[in-house]
Amino acid sequence: MPHRQQEVALLRREVEMLMAERQALLRVVGAATALIASLDSKRLPVSAVEAADVVATSINRLGEETLQDALAAVHAEIEDFPASA
């Protein structure tokens, strides 16, 4: 049984580490989302627009719940802007 308890303790530490890492990543994604949403792409250098596009594309691939968790992690809200015609 002691071996089993060690395995359980090791798994518990690993899960706790992964959850802490998830929280850190959610803060990064939340901050990046708020930053990208506030940018005016017409005023950015081309290289910055390209980088912002990569970030925005990655963010758009996230599930709605994950994105909401990320925004909540940094206490950010993104306004819905009407699509321009």
pLDDT in tens, 48-70: 999 999 999 999 999 999 999 99
What is the value of pTM for the model shown?
0.79
pLDDT value of residue 85: 36
Distance CA 85, CA 41 (A): 17
pLDDT in tens, 71-84: 999 998 877 644 44
Given pLDDT bands bounded at 50, 70 and 90, which one contains residue 1? low
pLDDT value of residue 13: 98
Q: Would the CA dihedral through 17, 22, 27, 29 be positive or negative?
A: positive
Residues whose CB is less than 8 angstroms from the CB of residue 29 and which lie 6 or more positions away in sequence, other chains included: 59, 62, 66, 67, 70, 73
pLDDT value of residue 77: 81
Q: Would the CA dihedral through 19, 31, 73, 71 be positive or negative?
A: negative
Structure tokens at 29: 């994604």
> Residue 27: pLDDT above 80?
yes
